[in-house]
Amino acid sequence: MRLLHTMLRVGHLERSIEFYTDVLGMTLLRQQDYPDGKFTLAFVGYGEESDTAVIELTYNWGTDSYDLGNGDGHIALGVDNIYTTCDELKRRGGKVTREPGPMQHGATVIAFVEDPDGYKVELIEGR
């Protein structure tokens, strides 16, 4: 077995694709409309689906937002230099919600950025 993808429901597909590709540097791997079900799926990632886990962005036509509640988690990305990465993400229009620094009760250096729908993306240095 292997992890294939993580699915996120998004309110504005093009805005989300732009965030994951232009801000986080992923590639749009494929996109397909399902008219009978009134939804569109777009898959983004850093490599081919056959080799790496990716993110599935699900847009349900006519739904502009979702209540994330208090049970949502986050996506984690490994980065080489978290400080320059955060500077670059801000330059690209990303919203850094937690500046780089050691995690609470640990030494791992982390930061968080937020996608257009409010999902958190954790950046972890050295992974």
Give a yes or no: residue 68 inside a domain: no
Separation between Cα atoms, residue 54 and residue 2, nearest integer Å: 12
CA atoms 112, 90, 15, 62: torsion sign: positive
CATH number of the domain where residue 16 is located: 3.10.180.10
Token digits for 75?
Answer: 């996506």
Residues 56 and 80 in one domain: no
Domain residues for the domain of 45 are 5-60
Residues 48 and 86 in one domain: no
Q: Which residues of 30-53 are buried (b: 16+ CB within 10 A; e: fewer)?
A: eeeeeeeeebbbbbbbeeeeeeee
Lowest mean pLDDT among 14-23, 65-74, 87-96: 65-74
Token digits for 44?
Answer: 């983004």
Residues 94 and 53 in one domain: no
Contact in structure between 27 and 45 (CB atoms under 8 Å): yes
State the average pLDDT over residues 32-55. 96
Domain boundary among 60, 86, 101: 60
Question: What pTM does this model have?
Answer: 0.88
Number of domains in the chain: 2
Domain boundary among 14, 38, 60: 60
Give a yes or no: residue 110 inside a domain: yes
Catalytic residue among 18, 49, 88, 122: 122
122 in catalytic set: yes
Contact in structure between 57 and 17 (CB atoms under 8 Å): yes
**Which of the four pLDDT bands, split at 50, 70 and 90, describes residue 93?**
very high
Give a yes or no: residue 69 inside a domain: no
